[in-house]
Structure 1
Amino acid sequence: MYKSIIIGTGPSGLTAAIYLARANMNPLVIEGPEPGGQLTTTTEVENFPGFPEGIMGPELMANMRKQAERFGAKFITGWVNSVDLSERPFKLQVEGQGEIVGESLIISTGASAKYLGIPGEKDNVGRGVSTCATCDGFFFRNKKIIVIGGGDSAMEEANFLTRFATEVELVNRRDELRASKIMQDRAKSNDKIVWSLNRTPLEVVANGMGVTGLKVRNNATGEEELIETSGVFIAIGHTPNTGFLNGQIDTDEHGYIRTKPGSSETNIPGVFACGDVQDNKYRQAITAAGSGCMAALDCEKFLEGSITQDWGESLPQ
């Protein structure tokens, strides 16, 4: 029986682990086969406070993990196949570990960026391929880059990237966009954005040092074209990692866990959510870490019997 169990080891989960461990809650942290979250696929992180020269993503995550271990957090590795949240204590079925039981649960499983599944894409993540303009746009100053997508997020990323790039070419496989009219109008009024609609991405081209182009098929003519670029930003959305919950927690229409405004509390007393699994707006390491702190403090108060929530009554002990 654990006082608290944390699922996920990105910035939010590891921050929660640090806070709970320092509060002598001895949390158990369950990490998947790819510990550290999306930051482990990022080369250099320059926007996390406290590192004026920047820090490598995997190094930042390793340091957070060591900090949590220093204060007594325990780590195990395995997929959480299912959870039973119908009553406390909560029961988790973890691959290779069997059943694990806890009085409280913090879900910090993040959201996975959607990829196209084309050759050269995954191989060049961190070397010209990115899914986060805010994270990586700075590295493409005075270069030409491509944004792939046709929704609001693609329009937003394209507009943001024009702050750095000499030109942003937006590639979409349809000849029309899914984005809202206001977002389309904003992008179309930006002189730095050029349009390559009705083109299907086929391959990310690289030279071993980084991305050099994107091969596409012109759907109108059937011909293949090569668009030269220094970077390819994939902006086709994210998928929150909540499948293992099997619908036991309230989520929004996109699958992100709903939390009480201003807190990390879910609709189930004793279950908290933090990081990208409940944040479809900011998706930054620093905001994830902040929400991990919130989850730990909320969890600690819950275990002490002093927390209430707007979903209904005081949380039972």
Structure 2
Amino acid sequence: MTAVHSTRMLILGSGPAGLSAAIYGARAGMAPIVVQGLQPGGQLTITTDVENYPGFRDVIQGPWLMEEMQAQAEHVGAQMIWDTIVEVDLSERPFRLKGDGGTLYVADTLVIATGAQARWLGAPGEAELGGKGVSACATCDGFFYRGKKVAVIGGGNTAVEEALYLTNHSHDVTLIHRRDSLRAEKILQERLFKHHGINVLWNKEVVRFVGGSDAEGLIGIDLKDTKTGEVSRFDVDGGFVAIGHHPSTELFAGQIELDEGYIKVKPGTALTNVPGVFACGDVMDKVYRQAITAAGTGCMAALDAERFLQAQDFPVPEDAELGPIAAGESIAAE
């Protein structure tokens, strides 16, 4: 028999956005269900040192922070389910979603917090040196390279913005691009070329990220000249891969409005173009992509969902297995 979970609020994703939505949704009496996805805890579970999350004077560990968020969400009444959604039907309410094991989820509201993943080069040494000199977020990790030599790999807006940001911490920033011209917007290129702290290496492709001892981490990047084929070593302390992000929205294509792959929301809200569906975190944020902004939009999504439910009357299918809140029960405001 197919397992069925019915809830007033279903949350897809368990990073800072999803867990913040769960905390606010649970406190509002909606007993949300969180489907954790392939990477419970999100990208912070593979982030070691976190120095910029408000409330902590000392460096904290990303996995620990997510464990604490999950514990708080469960403490106030959210239910965590380790599953991955493979089918979504947003054509009518209540929404119906299917897990990879066949479990059916029936939800009056849906909060999408599936996040976005940084695109990586796939070069040797990249994965091994992740967090040890190789990063995909200058805003997150640039602080660790104060006064050190850093490189940014890429040629689009993301790469140029990362290079410009890193000049706040380093006077030796190099942009490495495999072509002889950038794809970034002209105004960003002008800022880059005018900045005396940034050098550009043209026609260079990353062959390998080179590590020293465990204590040293990244010590250099092997580069191949795309015109001559010559390989040379570029000594560097930090390497930032900036070739864009890929939002996890494949499941929703054709069912919800997207903007360059990201879920489009009404400005200042978490509302999508589908009534009852809300988006938060990196899946709808192509600008900031920080844990704190993700958590903030998760709060917004839960509050928007609560207000939506207060204004609606959703029938529950007779074949659905009711969750902790039965049909017709009131939703307590926070």
**CA apart distance, 1:296:** 0.4
Q: Which residue is 2:15 aligned to?
A: 10
1:173·1:197 contact (CA, 8 Å) conserved in 2? yes
Match of 2:220 among 213, 219, 224: 213
Aligned-partner residue type, residue 101 of structure 2: G
CA–CA separation in structure 2 for the residues paired with 1:7 and 1:153: 27
1:86-105 mapped onto 2 (5 Å cutoff): 86-105=91-110
Is 2:161 aligned against 1:156?
yes
- List aligned pairs for 1:1-317, cutoff 5 A: 1-209=6-214, 210-252=217-259, 254-305=260-311
Secondary structure (helix, strand or coil) at the match of 2:128 reads: helix
Counterpart amino acid of 1:297? L
1:23 maps to amino acid? A
SS in 2 for 1:222: coil
Select the structure of larger CA radius of gyration: 2
CA distance in 2, matches of 1:97, 1:225: 52
**For 1:169 and 1:7, how far apart are their aligned partners in 2?**
38
Tell me the C-alpha RMSD between the 2 structures.
1.4
Task: Output the amino acid matched with 1:192.
Answer: G
CA distance in 1, matches of 2:306, 2:168: 42
Name the CA distance, whole Å, in 1 between partners of 2:203 and 2:309.
55
Structure 1 residue runs of 4 or more that deviate by more than 3 Å after TM superposition? none
Q: Distance in 2 between matches of 1:21 and 1:216?
A: 51
- Partners of 1:207 and 1:193 in 2: how far apart? 25
Say which is worse superposed, 3-12 or 74-83, in terms of deviation: 74-83
Give 1:33 shift.
2.3
- CA drift of 1:121 comes to 0.7
What letter corresponds to residue 65 of structure 1 in structure 2? Q
Residues 306 and 79 of structure 1: CA distance in aligned 2, closer, same or farther (over 3 Å): closer
Please give the per-residue CA displacement for 1:34-64, whole angstroms capped at 9, x wherever unaligned: 1111112211111111001121111111100
Runs of at least 5 residues in structure 1 that lack an aligned partner in the other structure:
308-316
The whole-number CA distance in structure 2 between the counterparts of 1:246 and 1:150 is: 27
| TM-superposed deviation, 1:224 | 0.5
Alpha-carbon distance in structure 2 between the residues aligned to 1:123 and 1:301: 46
1:221 maps to a residue whose letter is: T
Structure 1 counterpart of 2:91, which letter? S
Is the CA contact (8 Å cut-off) linking 1:113 and 1:237 kept in structure 2? yes
AA aligned to 1:16 is A
SS at match of 1:185: helix
**2:7 alignment partner, SS class:** coil
User: Percent of counterpart pairs with the same letter?
Assistant: 52
Secondary structure of residue in 2 paired with 1:6: strand
Paired residue type of 2:225? N
Q: Deviations over 1:254-295 (max 9, x none)?
A: 111111111111111110000111111111111110100000
CA distance in structure 2 between the aligned counterparts of 1:280 and 1:246, rounded to whole angstroms = 17
Give the deviation of 1:97 after TM superposition: 4.7
- Report the CA distance shift for 1:208/1:6 in structure 2 as closer, same or farther (over 3 A): farther
Residues 78 and 97 of structure 1 are in contact (CA less than 8 Å); yes or no, is this contact kept in structure 2?
Answer: no
- Cα deviation code 1:57-98 (max 9, x no counterpart): 111111000000101111111221120000011011111252
| Structure 2 residue matching 1:282: 3-state secondary structure | coil
User: Which residue identity lines up with residue 261 of structure 1 in the other structure?
Assistant: P
TM-score calculated relative to the size of structure 1: 0.94
